[in-house]
């Protein structure tokens, strides 16, 4: 009896809540924004930077916006957590993982009065936007720098999972490296985790022992970079500026910066002009930037800056043809460029990368 009454009351409360919600197009004074993170805020990487973005949004919009954050949500728990956020009044929910794309897509039609934003999914719905940053542009710059710094001509890459995002990053590093020196080679170790500092350090050790002297990393933590510092070689930071972890080894970091985007999207909800957009921001968009170039000669730094600016203003593109697969099959000829969908679906290495696809 108690149980059924409780259910009844929750149902009634939800009903009252949804009746109070204004329609999608109406402007409003205040909004509650929810955010769901795949990892802990304390990962100093992907999730950490999304939380930083949320804080920035609160700073920009002041007391017009409140927010609820739920961290370390495994995909099976997504529905429950998202529904809870909606019940507590969230009008806009950022679901910040590709693993949440399908669950968000499933949930969005059932809550037409709530706006969803998924990083880094490929498709939108009337009340679901997707957003991502063109991190590969930073990878191209890393490749150029690596080719200048490496004496052994071998780049080490601590990779996570063989998904398109990581695969096109590896391809782009080499594209950048070959633009300087076509004899550059790469070694890849997959750690099968987004965050496992110990394993990342072991992978970095293995790569260095095999002769790599510049390390790229796709995992979030500073472990590979710290190893580079310890062993007197060079490396790049990921997700946030990691200069202080490796004052002598750090070359540059790719720094994620979601704050302005979050503020703009929350403001759109307040003003009643939110639209389901597909945003893929590059170096020019401010969604990510490169940390100051360190441990380089002035010539190397200015070359890196020139490449970075060319990518940002669109005069240089990382996916211009000719693009040939590892096995020799051509993808596009010279003069063409991969479409965004082709980049998002990339599941092959370029010719010249002698690493087996797992």
Q: According to DSSP H, which parts of the chain are helical? A: 2-20, 46-61, 78-87, 101-107, 136-149, 164-180, 197-209, 223-230, 259-271, 298-313, 340-344
Indicate the residue among 336 and 347 with the shorter CB distance to other proteins: 347
Q: Please, which residue, 165 or 320, has the CB nearer to other proteins? A: 165
Q: Which residues bind other proteins (CB under 8 A)?
A: 39-45, 48, 72, 156, 162, 187-193, 195-203, 205-207, 209-210, 212, 221-223, 226, 230, 240, 244-245, 354-356, 358
SS3 content of the chain, % helix, strand, coil (to 5): 45, 20, 35
Select 296 or 355, whichever has its Cβ closest to other proteins.
355
Tell the smallest beta-carbon distance from residue 215 to other proteins (Å): 11
CB of 156 to other proteins, least distance (A): 7
Cα distances from 273 to residues 26, 150, 195, 310, in angstroms, run: 8, 50, 37, 33
Of 193 and 332, which has the nearer Cβ to other proteins?
193
What does the alpha-carbon distance between residue 337 and residue 184 come to, in Å, rounded to a whole number? 23
H or E element, residue 322: none
Helix (H) or strand (E) holding 244: none
Residue 223 or residue 312: which is nearer to other proteins going by CB? 223
| CB of 143 vs other proteins, minimal distance in Å | 18
Angstrom CA distances, 38 to 44, 98, 102, stand at 13, 9, 14
The least distance separating other proteins from the CB of residue 353, rounded to whole angstroms, comes to 10
To the nearest whole angstrom, how small is the minimum distance from the Cβ of residue 337 to other proteins? Answer: 30
């Amino acid at each position: 009896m108690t149980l059924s009454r409780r259910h009844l009351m929750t149902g009634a409360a939800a009903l009252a809540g949804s009746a109070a919600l204004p329609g999608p197009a109406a402007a409003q004074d205040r909004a509650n924004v929810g955010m769901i993170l795949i990892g802990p805020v304390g990962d100093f990487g992907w999730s950490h930077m999304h939380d930083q973005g949320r804080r920035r949004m609160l700073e920009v919009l002041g007391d017009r916006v409140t927010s609820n954050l739920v961290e370390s949500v495994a995909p099976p728990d997504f529905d429950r957590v998202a529904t809870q956020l909606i019940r507590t009044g969230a009008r806009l929910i950022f679901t910040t993982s590709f693993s949440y794309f399908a669950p968000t897509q499933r949930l969005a039609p059932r809550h037409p009065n709530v706006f969803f934003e998924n990083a880094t999914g490929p498709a939108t719905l009337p009340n679901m936007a997707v957003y991502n940053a063109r991190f590969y542009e930073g990878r191209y710059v890393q490749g150029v720098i690596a080719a200048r710094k490496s004496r052994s001509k071998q780049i080490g890459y601590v990779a996570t999972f063989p998904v398109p995002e990581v695969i096109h990053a590896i391809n782009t590093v080499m594209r950048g490296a070959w633009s300087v020196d076509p004899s550059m080679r790469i070694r890849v170790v997959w750690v099968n985790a987004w965050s496992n500092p110990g394993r990342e350090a072991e992978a970095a050790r293995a790569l260095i022992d095999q002769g790599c002297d510049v390390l790229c990393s796709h995992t979030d933590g500073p472990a590979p970079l710290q190893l580079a510092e310890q062993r007197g070689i060079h490396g790049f930071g990921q997700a946030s500026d990691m200069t202080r972890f490796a004052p002598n080894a750090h070359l540059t970091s790719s720094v994620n910066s979601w704050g302005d985007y979050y503020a703009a999207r929350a403001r759109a909800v307040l003003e009643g002009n939110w639209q389901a957009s597909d945003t893929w921001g590059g170096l020019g968009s401010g969604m990510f930037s490169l940390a100051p170039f360190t441990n380089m000669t002035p010539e190397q730094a200015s070359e890196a800056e020139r490449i970075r600016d060319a990518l940002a203003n669109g005069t240089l593109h990382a996916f211009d043809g000719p693009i040939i697969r590892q096995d020799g099959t051509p993808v596009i000829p010279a003069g063409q460029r991969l479409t965004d969908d082709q980049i998002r679906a990339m599941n092959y290495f370029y010719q010249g990368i002698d690493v087996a696809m797992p």
